[in-house]
Structure 1
Amino acid sequence: MTRPLHIVVTVNAAWNLVNFRTGLLRALIADGHRVTVLAPHDDSVARLQALGCAFVDLPMNRKGLSPLANLHIWRRLGAAMDRLRPDVVLSFTIKNNLFGALAARRRRIPFIPNVTGLGTAFLSGGGLQRVAQMIYRHAFRGLPVVFFQNRDDLELFAGMGLVRPGQARVLPGSGIDLTRFAPAPMPENPPDAPVFLMIARLLRDKGVVEFADAAAVVRRQFPHAQFRIVGPFGTENRSALPPAQIMRWQDAGHIVHLGAMPDVRPAIAEADCVVLPSYREGMPRVLLEAAAMARPVITTDVPGCRDALDAGKTGLLCQPRDSASLARACADFITLTPEARAAMGQAGRARAERLFGEAHVIAAYRQALADATGQAG
């Protein structure tokens, strides 16, 4: 039995933990650990406190690239660690990973980051990418464990010398609560009038433009097909689409924007197929949720996204940044019989049960905590 720890969990938005890490936080508290969340304050804080977490506000600019802004984040993270004196820090999201690792190393606090995505700077090319790689190499040096959500990202970091093979471990995303996201019967829509559902922040990098353009193409051939989007406007992200653009697509009849939903299960239950044309992901949670609810998916053939399905069996792949390819995949889905669609959804559920249950993630974190704090048995 390991001794109780004071675990600080840091992330760039409190809602991120509520949406994606509730099961992990609940398990850590059940194990007897004291958990403090260090994140910018938002409407999710009360829910974290109801779980039993303490909360400390971390003001930060999530999209800023200026050295001064990042210096402020590093100093605030370090000051919080000095006050809280944690036994170990768990981190999610890019800036918290990088500057939290630097602050923790200076204080000799074990630090375990989770690389949930690479970010615009890392993928931009040129000088900005080189700077990002340099910071990663320095920040991650010597960490006991670095979690990745897909093997492509792990191999990319290892190939660049940003992590050592002994540090890196792959998780099945953030894990899915297979009881909460239970299989739902397929909706009784006419075969030529399916509901295609996209759940994402309204960012260019998520493939929202391609989704809207593909909808316009598909609806010319299948005018009763519906293309719905659930998600908030990403005002603090450099690739955020303006609300006026979303309204233009909606006014033209291409899509229906349903806004943000605290619980996406009803929207998934009403959908015939869940679509995510993202440019790259760690492990897209929405596709795992869709699979758990026995829904076929369509997504891009890129790292993270392609790991979330068994192509041809639980869903269909299309090419990234290619609305014509996405439109063809949607049209191919419409030609499937209702029985074939249902079989695809059931295969997705079986795969989710086999690979993506949150119990796998919780077990991996328990082992990482034991290793990082010297309590491995």
Structure 2
Amino acid sequence: MTSKKVLIACDSVKSLIDFRSNLIELMQKKHTVYVFTPPIPCELRSKLASLKIIVFENNLNGSNVSVLADLQYALKLYRLIRQIKPDVFFPYTLKPVIYGTLVAKLNGVPKITPMLSGLGYNFVTGNTSVISKITRSLLRISLRNTPGLSIIFQNKDDLQTLLKSKIISPQHQTAVVNGSGVDLSHYAPTAPDIDNISFIMVSRLINAKGIREYFEAAQTVFLKHPDITFKLIGAYDDNIDAISPNLFTEIKHKSVIKYLGAVDDVRPYIRGSSVVVLPSYYGEGIPRCLLEAMAIGRPIITCDSVGCRETVETLPNANGFLIPIKNTAELVCKMEYFINNNKAIINFGLNGLALAQEKFDVHKVNARMMQIMNLTDD
């Protein structure tokens, strides 16, 4: 097929490298790929360079609200699209989707494929903040139906949420893919240690990810099972929903949790753990840490919430447990199930690996993405 120009807009170069590298490599077999990204940290420049893409930087802060900065971002992207004249525009995460889709339409880009990789804090039930209302209004304007627009979701719940909110209509062209997928060759499975049981949570330290619930559950379980280990990986960064400084201090210095901060490679930490926990009600796409857990062969405990529920199968092929959101008691119960039934850790983990192979293989997900963007011969 004819080579096309593809412009990707993201809110984090780390997410681009971690979640889109395989897709970019697939695109580059026949097409030219450009990326519009916030400033590139020095430690990631070599990794980004290895992708051999054409990069343009901006000053977007995806977590903070600044009308002036957002307008500057939109204007810079508008000018870049006029310069490149892409055939396909692929923005993902809220701000690139909102501003990028709008300016791509103004520039007449033939194919616009915004991906909502989770609706995040702005769509959490009960959130009636001004910022949430503004975000929803901007999303409605940006995603107004036009020829060439195909909206990509990572779970069916997000699609239904936007339909019910009348942000999009049934006439919109939409597609649901299985998250960002996971590269199974990168996450080789290993046998879990069921004699020295440990739990791990991998997440940014924000409230809606369930940090407090994990903290409280670990304290409770430890009282009855002082031989159990609890670990937490994730950055404490500038975010509107970041946990309080007091809770952060308690986690680091006054709890049974071993806080490991942010790490470049989670694989050895997941392999060194028995069960992966994510009690999130954030509004996920499909959480990457749960896909990584399944690929490595670990059972999961997560919430019956948007995105998370996509990752758990029930009996006879159970790979984990779904618990109600903000329910520390139920989290404790499921943790104790694995403590008291340690051989189940192996079986649940193998079922999770099979689910990852069947449903979440990155190559299957990316093949579907290429079809949606009209980048294949099919």
TM over 0.5: yes
2:353 corresponding residue in structure 1: 349
Residue 70 of structure 1: how far off its partner (Å)? 2.6
2:25 corresponding residue in structure 1: 26
Residue 188 of structure 1: how far off its partner (Å)? 5.0
Residue 325 of structure 1: how far off its partner (Å)? 2.0
Residue 292 of structure 1: how far off its partner (Å)? 0.9
Q: Distance in 1 between matches of 2:314 and 2:235?
A: 29
Aligned residue for 2:91, secondary structure, equals: strand
Structure 1 residue runs without a partner (length 5+): none
Aligned residue for 1:290, secondary structure, equals: helix
Q: Are the counterparts in 1 of residues 163 and 169 from structure 2 also a CA contact under 8 Å?
A: yes
1:182 corresponding residue in structure 2: 188
Q: Are the counterparts in 1 of residues 38 and 61 from structure 2 also a CA contact under 8 Å?
A: no
Q: 251, 256, 263: which one pairs with 1:249? A: 251
Residue 119 of structure 1: how far off its partner (Å)? 2.7
> Structure 2: which amino acid aligns with 1:264?
V
Residue 376 of structure 1: how far off its partner (Å)? 6.6
1:325 corresponding residue in structure 2: 330
1:121 corresponding residue in structure 2: 122
1:151 corresponding residue in structure 2: 156
Residue 311 of structure 1: how far off its partner (Å)? 3.6
1:263 corresponding residue in structure 2: 265
Structure 2 residue runs without a partner (length 5+): none
Residue 79 of structure 1: how far off its partner (Å)? 1.8
Query: Superposition pairs for residues 39-50 of structure 1, below 5 Å?
Result: 39-43=37-41, 44-50=44-50
Q: Distance in 1 between matches of 2:189 and 2:225?
A: 27
Residue 41 of structure 1: how far off its partner (Å)? 1.7
2:86 corresponding residue in structure 1: 86
Aligned residue for 1:61, secondary structure, equals: coil
Of residues 18-27 and 181-190 in structure 1, the stretch that sits farther from structure 2 once superposed is: 181-190
Q: 12, 36, 46: which one pairs with 1:38? A: 36
> Structure 1: which amino acid aligns with 2:35?
V
Q: Distance in 1 between matches of 2:57 and 2:327?
A: 40
Q: Distance in 2 between matches of 1:351 and 1:121?
A: 30
Aligned residue for 1:317, secondary structure, equals: strand
Residue 187 of structure 1: how far off its partner (Å)? 1.8
Aligned residue for 2:367, secondary structure, equals: helix
Aligned residue for 1:370, secondary structure, equals: coil
1:104 corresponding residue in structure 2: 104
> Structure 1: which amino acid aligns with 2:189?
P
1:173 corresponding residue in structure 2: 179
2:311 corresponding residue in structure 1: 308
Correspondence 1:361 to 2:352: no
> Structure 1: which amino acid aligns with 2:362?
E
Q: Are the counterparts in 2 of residues 45 and 55 from structure 1 also a CA contact under 8 Å?
A: no
Change (3 A) 1:201 1:126: closer
1:199 corresponding residue in structure 2: 202
> Structure 1: which amino acid aligns with 2:128?
G
Of residues 153-162 and 166-175 in structure 1, the stretch that sits farther from structure 2 once superposed is: 153-162
Work out the percentage of aligned pairs sharing the same amino acid: 30
Q: Distance in 2 between matches of 1:189 and 1:42?
A: 42
Q: 131, 134, 139: which one pairs with 1:131? A: 134
Of residues 245-254 and 208-217 in structure 1, the stretch that sits farther from structure 2 once superposed is: 245-254
Residue 129 of structure 1: how far off its partner (Å)? 3.6
Aligned residues: 367
Residue 242 of structure 1: how far off its partner (Å)? 5.0
Q: Distance in 2 between matches of 1:185 and 1:11?
A: 36
2:276 corresponding residue in structure 1: 274
2:215 corresponding residue in structure 1: 212
Of residues 65-74 and 167-176 in structure 1, the stretch that sits farther from structure 2 once superposed is: 65-74
Q: Distance in 2 between matches of 1:12 and 1:56?
A: 12
Q: Distance in 2 between matches of 1:248 and 1:129?
A: 30
> Structure 2: which amino acid aligns with 1:216?
Q
Residue 155 of structure 1: how far off its partner (Å)? 1.1
2:229 corresponding residue in structure 1: 226
Of residues 239-248 and 345-354 in structure 1, the stretch that sits farther from structure 2 once superposed is: 239-248
> Structure 2: which amino acid aligns with 1:364?
R
Q: Are the counterparts in 1 of residues 194 and 345 from structure 2 also a CA contact under 8 Å?
A: no
Q: Distance in 2 between matches of 1:13 and 1:219?
A: 37
Q: Distance in 2 between matches of 1:72 and 1:118?
A: 23
Superposed CA deviations along residues 20-61 of structure 1, whole A, max 9, x for unmatched, are: 11111111112x211111111223233122111111101112
Runs of 4+ in structure 1 off by over 4 angstroms are none
